[in-house]
Amino acid sequence: MRLLVTGGLGFIGSNFVRHVLKSHPSWTVVNIDVLTYAGNPANLADLARNPRYRWVRGDIRDPRAVAGCMEGADAVVHFAAESHVDRSILDASSFIETNVLGTNVLLDAARRLSVGRFVHVSTDEVYGSVEQGFSTEDDPLAPNSPYAASKAASDLLVRSYVVTHGLPAVITRASNNFGPYQYPEKALPLLITNFMDDLPFPLYGDGLNVRDWVYVLDHVRAVEFVLLKGKTGEAYNVGGTHSCTNKELIERVRGLMGKPASLVTPVPDRPGHDRRYALDCRKLTSLGFKHAHPFEAALAKTIAWYRANPAWWRPLKKAGGYKKYYDKQYAGRLVGRRAGAPKR
């Protein structure tokens, strides 16, 4: 199979590319990635000499670049996006441009080039906050953040290309991923790397928001599974194996890392903060998908990975882009203050 992957230098995309090249010795991958702050060639440095892999620095909003990469592809797996909720609160425009307009450029190229399969990687956030029960794929979309709204818009565009143009597309909607190569602005890598440096972790609101955690290697296996077995026009929820409040997650990490509770610093809540996500994943599991990574072991492996790879994350934190949100929301009082040091 000749695959075009978008956003393959990001967190999930890079894990996906590595996984499929290892699992399918005859597959080739072209990866179109423009390299935003979240993209990092180091994520796939191990594939630099692999003849079955090629990175094209290109923008999914650029129809010529997209057509050039997609020519000859059997399938497209679309990860590229602006993906961080907090950034979308500060400025939503790049989210609309990449997640909505960029997805449309890809869909249009896939239709013109008669690509055999298009997998659109989406999120459980499109369902909005679920106070009780579990979201099924047929539930209405009710996004609450600009990020989630841009993803819901792209899901609806995918649907329209299936219905109007007969594009053989499928959608995956995953919960919170964690694992190696996650940019350290997201909660879990921020928590682990701040704890490693005895820096405080900003806990939004009362910390009782519930997230469902999926190890990234299970998510990429699910995307591969849907690529091969999903039914055109369908969406598939991809939940994890462990659901908990943010406070509970922090307690587990604290226990594993042996850090004091004083490092956890409550800060004002994220505006529009969804209280709970919860996915009903029976549609995927009834097709035969099984998770391979129990939460506890995956969490311990993730902490071990960040411990073993400071050369990967330290430059990202030093560059400081990750903390613009905190500087703006919390006037820079939080990130960067060592535990025990007086508050400014």
Q: Is 327 a catalytic residue?
A: no
* One residue of 84, 87, 291, 293 binding ligand DAU per CB under 6 A: 84
User: What is the nearest approach in angstroms of ligand DAU to the Cβ of residue 192?
Assistant: 12
219 binds ligand DAU (CB under 6 A): no
Q: Which is nearer to ligand NAD, 61 or 283 (CB)?
A: 61
User: What is the nearest approach in angstroms of ligand NAD to the Cβ of residue 27?
Assistant: 20
224 binds ligand DAU (CB under 6 A): no
User: What is the nearest approach in angstroms of ligand NAD to the Cβ of residue 163?
Assistant: 22
> Using CB under 6 A, which of the segments 27-35, 46-54, 201-209, 300-308 binds ligand DAU?
201-209
* One residue of 100, 121, 157, 217 binding ligand NAD per CB under 6 A: 121
184 binds ligand NAD (CB under 6 A): no
246 binds ligand DAU (CB under 6 A): yes
What residues numbered 105-124 form the site for ligand DAU, per CB under 6 A?
123-124
* One residue of 203, 220, 222, 281 binding ligand DAU per CB under 6 A: 203
98 binds ligand NAD (CB under 6 A): yes
Q: What is the 3-state secondary structure (H, E, C) of the chain?
A: CEEEEECCCCHHHHHHHHHHHHHCCCCEEEEECCCCCCCCHHHHHHHCCCCCEEEECCCCCCHHHHHHHHCCCCEEEECCCCCCHHHHHHCCHHHHHHHHHHHHHHHHHHHHCCCCEEEEEEEHHHHCCCCCCCECCCCCCCCCCHHHHHHHHHHHHHHHHHHHHCCCEEEEEECEEECCCCCCCCHHHHHHHHHHCCCCEEEECCCCCEEEEEEHHHHHHHHHHHHHHCCCCCEEEECCCEEEEHHHHHHHHHHHHCCCHHHEEEECCCCCCCCECCECCHHHHHCCCCCCCCHHHHHHHHHHHHHHCHHHHHHHHHHCHHHHHHHHHHCCCCCCCCCCCCCC
177 binds ligand NAD (CB under 6 A): yes
User: What is the nearest approach in angstroms of ligand NAD to the Cβ of residue 343?
Assistant: 31
Q: Which is nearer to ligand DAU, 84 or 221 (CB)?
A: 84
34 binds ligand NAD (CB under 6 A): yes
Q: Which residue is it, tokens 């109007």?
A: 164
Q: Which residues contact ligand DAU by CB under 6 A?
A: 83-85, 123-125, 175-176, 186-187, 190, 202-204, 209, 211, 246, 270, 277
* Residues labelled catalytic: 124-125, 147
